[in-house]
Amino acid sequence: MTKLASSTAIAVLLSGAAYADAHTDAFTPGEGPFDWDTYNAFAEETDLTGQSLTVTGPWTGDEKAKFDVIMAFFADATGAEVNYSGSDSFEQDIVVSARAGSAPNLAVFPQPGLAADMASQGLLTPLPDGLDAWIAENYAAGDSWVDLATYEGPEGEEALYGMFYRVDLKSLVWYSPAAFDEMGYDIPQSMEELKALTDQIVEDGGTPWCIGLGSGAATGWPATDWVEDLMLRTQPPEVYDQWVANEIPFDAPEVVNAIEEFGYFAKNDEYVSGGAQAVASTDFRDSPTGLFAIPPDCYMHRQASFIPAFFPDGTEVGEDVDFFYFPAYEGEDLGSPVLGAGTLFAITNPSESAEAFLEFLKLPLAHELWMAQGGFLTAHAGVNPEAYSEDSLRAQGEILRGATTFRFDASDLMPGEIGAGAFWTGMVDYVTGAEASDVATTIQERWQTLN
């Protein structure tokens, strides 16, 4: 039986999607920058008529509308009845439903930590054999994605429990192209060049960086991203993993060095807008505004892909502001590591339809459909970059595709009292005068009280 993406049901679902509203023929089978061939082959091979697929996750509102498009195409290909339910309290809801035996077939986890906890309790089902090898071969830095979703089960055996889908990128430096052009600055290709540019800007009478750690009760978290990125640029990924698991102490020389590398930028009055003492008190949402001053209050701002939401109204990414990859040290020979986050699918109630959906996620189209709607990055190396809705997303996608290592935000993987507590406050103490070794020792002592 041939099933193509042309049903009335799909048209109805697409009518609520922002991208489809503006592009009525956007998802016409055979049209657009999409891989229809593998989708149609999947449809020919997969018949789930009379079966259902239930999925839950953290996506609500506009994100739910975009994911409903992907679900609609799966339904049309397979004949399955599908339902996605998003929740703002997903993390609590999924644990309750799994323990009660009423979980949906698949769950979308925004952080691997909760998935790992549920796997250890026997509340998740290992993914089908061979999927780990497929991911390693078909995702950029594929081994990293396998490692991030491989957990110990209730008997202590390791297995692949998750498949990553939507990715966030943190290893970015934002800058004003006009300001760079005026001064004749080139985009640095290594950390050594970035440090040289930092010094050059000072010599030219400017201020290189805007840095702000303020975030209310969460003040300090932006500094943890700096330290994590610098850990990946000064140490092999295995050491990063040991740090996250506290298999090496927080006050190990490798970690102290990464903190001090952050201090190289943040604790120099000449390097930071407002001076080093302004770093802790400047709100992270306000800190990039210096890029847009005339003359600029700063030339660079390191922050994740979400930061344009806090740029002045009307700012055009790619024109008024742009970004480059936070570079690696040429002398360290650690490739091109990338720091970020992402969501992963896991099986919470096994079914044929759940396994079929994971097969569906192998298809470029399952990613391209959301790429075209915006607000989506993927590590799938087989997608067509032209499907991205914006040049800026396409450029970020290229950074992901060029990554040799991907690691999840370390503070999100650490125990909450550390990653969302002592690490945050320790970074504030550090930028306001404490020694890196003392800060790291205090964090380690706090971690030891949890054991």
Domain for residue 2, yes or no? no
Say yes or no: 231 and 360 in one domain. no
Q: Residues 214-233: what's their mean pLDDT?
A: 97
Say yes or no: 251 and 160 in one domain. no
pTM here? Answer: 0.90
Domain for residue 1, yes or no? no
Say yes or no: 233 and 272 in one domain. yes
Q: What is the pLDDT of residue 26?
A: 65
Q: What is the CATH number of the domain that holds 109?
A: 3.40.190.10
Say yes or no: 19 and 40 in one domain. yes
pLDDT, tens only, 161-197: 999 999 999 999 999 999 999 999 999 999 999 999 9
Q: Report CA-CA distances (Å) from 171 to 161, 176, 233, 347, 396.
A: 26, 17, 11, 30, 10
pLDDT, tens only, 408-446: 999 989 999 999 999 999 999 999 999 999 999 999 999
Say yes or no: 257 and 365 in one domain. no
Say yes or no: 103 and 228 in one domain. no
Say yes or no: 324 and 435 in one domain. yes
Q: What is the pLDDT of residue 69?
A: 95
- CA–CA separation, 288 vs 308, rounded Å? 9
Q: What is the pLDDT of residue 22?
A: 41
Domain holding 376, by residue range, is 8-169+340-408
Q: What is the pLDDT of residue 326?
A: 98
Give the number of other CB atoms < 10 A from CB of residue 305: 23
Q: What is the pLDDT of residue 2?
A: 38
Percentage of the chain exceeding pLDDT 90:
91
pLDDT for residue 18 is more than 50: no
Domain for residue 152, yes or no? yes
Q: What is the pLDDT of residue 421?
A: 95
Q: Residues 356-367: what's their mean pLDDT?
A: 98
Domain for residue 117, yes or no? yes
- CA–CA separation, 390 vs 402, rounded Å? 19
Overall number of domains in the chain: 2
Q: What is the mean pLDDT of the chain?
A: 93
Say yes or no: 301 and 374 in one domain. no
Evaluate whether 274 touches 301 at the Cβ level (below 8 Å).
no
Whose tokens are 């109204």? That residue is 313
Say yes or no: 294 and 439 in one domain. yes
pLDDT for residue 10 is more than 90: no
- CA–CA separation, 383 vs 386, rounded Å? 9
Q: Residues 308-326: what's their mean pLDDT?
A: 96
Q: What is the pLDDT of residue 14?
A: 53
| Rg over CA atoms, the chain | 23
Q: Which of 224, 222, 168, 211 is nearest to 399 (CA)?
A: 168
pLDDT, tens only, 26-65: 677 778 899 999 999 999 999 999 999 999 999 999 999 9
382 φ, ψ (degrees, to nearest 5): -95, 0
Say yes or no: 221 and 122 in one domain. no
Say yes or no: 215 and 127 in one domain. no
Domain for residue 141, yes or no? yes
Say yes or no: 87 and 27 in one domain. yes
